[in-house]
Structure 1
Amino acid sequence: MINRGTVKDIDLNEFFTFLSKLTKDNIEPKFDITHVTISHLSPRLSLESIVNEPLYNLSNVLTNDTELSRFLKKAGLVFSNNNKIVQVTHNDMKIDWKKYESPTALMIINRLEGNKVSTTSDNCINGFLFNGKIFENGNVAHIFRCPEILENILRVLGRLDLISNFNSKSKPYIICFKAPISDIIFDGNGNHKLNNKEKQFLILRYCLYYLSLQKSYDWSGNNNPIIRLKDNLDVDISNLVAVFEVNEEDGELNQLSIYE
């Protein structure tokens, strides 16, 4: 019997004992998970940007020639990478975010320039272990129509017109991609220090936890574990597994063809 309290309550020894009794064979806890699928919520102006551009980390999506950087460049916003710090110019004037005394400006500094803990920009791709209505998770619900960093930058600069413009043109997509176990990190509760084998056991626990809660109809999007890639990694389009467009009326997922 699997305890459904928390993922930590999942007893893998009990699980493998159960399998051994079921199969009348001694099944040992030996397995090898090499890759995992991650589901990433991403509001985009077009599907073409997903199938034609790598899934970039924050620094690269702003400083490379991407659909997003071109949208911002038309409005006079240009981004450049200077010693792992993302610098911003607005109408040819370099932006000093420290002049803007607001919590939002501080968030921008932390993400583009780093802080006392990290001296480089926030440069990782986040996602969820399980697909589904991940947009209902409280950690990402606010980026359903517009990337958080984009809205923060435009709000501080007083470019509310661009926020409205982006929101009116964008659609929410869920991008599912595969990543090696060695490239993923579980943040929180000390899990960021797990080695590859420990991450595999944690994934198995989460799978059993997911199935247990699904069976009893207790699963919630807020139970879905957030995982991220290591800093500075991008996802090549060859590692895309599936892309879904979110129907904004009913929240249903429509899987799109990405290999035509």
Structure 2
Amino acid sequence: MSLLFNITSFEGSLQFLNDYLEIDPKSVIEYVKSDDNDVDVDGFIDIFNISLDKLEHENIEAVALHVTSNNDDCKSIKSTGLLNLQQALTMNTPIKKYLREFQIEFDVSNKLMWFKGNQFDITYNSSWSDDKDERLDSVARKVYFDHQINSFFSIQDVKDYGGRVHEKPEILHNLKELFKADVLEERWKQTCKPYVIKYKAPLDYFAYYSFYLEKYEYEEDYEEKTDLKFWLIKTALYVVWNMVHRRKMPQIFAYMKPEVSIIPNNFLVIIPLNPSD
């Protein structure tokens, strides 16, 4: 049976620390209460005699919150699961159908896009050149560099996130800017409803930058996973500390590997949002 790294709530964070470290919630709360300036993870590990080498990581699944919107009451998502952007632009999804109404189509494999019959090369190149169209490049970047499923391990209110992902897919903003068509965003917001998909996935489904600042840190930690175990403890403690001292969930991002999709069986709950809240 898998162990859930569920820091989407105060209670979930305490439960993970209890299940993973066998430290009761009362002791964890008392520890974080001792310092209102920061959470001392090294001190926590010392006081409770935690040996990172003896901790497992293979059987852990992480819980994350994905924010989306659609006009079919999530019927497509319940059928196909959560898709990355490339899959969503290729398969028969609500966003592909929506873009077709505006005569926008993508050929992801050949790096092409059409708008009203006009063809655009959307090959993404991260290097700068004088003739680069920044607006077209932002579309290419979204499709070929930032197309993974983005979620949150923890957040107070998904509607406060600057990307306003509960209102519309971010790609619509890129297309709106490119074609100077506000209607691309506005009609979606008028016809679609927002949802949070709470799901679980094995740790190795998440991109390394969900847990590490640099790729070399991930590579050096590949075998032992000492830094990963430390991150799991530190981040769960950080959520508890924030709730005890600030009464607020911190914002912690969760990025899936680009090739990963989430099957419906891994959904824990689908939560409708009130967009006016």
- On whether the aligned pair clears a TM of 0.5, the verdict is yes
Answer whether contact 1:41 1:135 (CA < 8 A) is retained.
Answer: no
Structure 1 Cα separation of the partners of residues 200 and 255 of structure 2: 12
Query: Could you list the per-position Cα deviations for residues 128-171 of structure 1 after superposition, in whole angstroms to 9, with x for gaps in the alignment?
Result: 11255233233x3x323111112211332233323221110112
Q: Which ranges in structure 1 are unaligned for 5 or more consecutive residues?
A: 21-26, 113-119, 251-260
Whether the aligned pair in 1 keeps the contact of 2:86 and 2:147 (CA below 8 Å) is yes
Match of 1:144 among 131, 150, 166: 166
How far the C-alpha of 1:228 sits from its partner, in A, is: 0.6
Question: For the residues of structure 2 that align with 1:230 and 1:135, how far apart are their CA atoms?
Answer: 24
Change over 3 Å in CA distance of 1:42–1:82 after alignment to 2: same
- Aligned residues: CA RMSD: 2.8
Tell me which of 70, 82, 92 is aligned to 2:117: 92
Match of 1:177 in 2: 199
Which residue in 1 is equivalent to 2:187?
Answer: 165
Which residue of the partner structure matches residue 124 of structure 1? 148
Deviation at 1:61, TM superposition (A): 0.5
| Structure 2 residue 63 is the aligned partner of structure 1 residue 32 | no
Deviation at 1:199, TM superposition (A): 2.3
Structure 1 pair 218–159 and aligned structure 2 pair: CA distance change class (3 A): same
Q: Which is richer in helix? A: 2
* Alpha-carbon distance between aligned partners in 2 of 1:154 and 1:243, rounded to the nearest angstrom: 28
Shift of 1:225: 1.6
Q: Say if 2:243 is the partner of 1:214.
A: yes
> Does 205-214 or 161-170 show the bigger shift?
161-170
Matched, 1:111 2:181: no
Name the SS of the counterpart of 2:108 in structure 1: strand
DSSP 3-state at the match of 1:69: helix
What is the identity, as a one-letter code, of the residue corresponding to 1:42? T
Q: Give the Cα separation in 2 of the matches to 1:213 and 1:161.
A: 40
- Could you tell me which amino acid in structure 2 is paired with residue 182 of structure 1? D
Measured against aligned partners, the alpha-carbon deviations of 1:185-208 in whole angstroms (never above 9, x if no partner) come to: 335632772545532321221111
Distance 1:130 1:247 in 2: 19
1:44 aligns with 2:73: no
Instruction: Go from structure 1 to structure 2 and tell me whether the alpha carbon gap of 1:123 and 1:54 turns closer, same or farther (over 3 Å shift).
Output: same
Equivalent position of 1:253 in the other structure: none
Give the corresponding residue for 1:24.
Answer: none
For the 8 Å contact 1:53–1:66, the answer to whether it is kept is no
Separation (CA, whole Å) in 2 of partners of 1:64 and 1:170: 19
| Paired residue total | 227
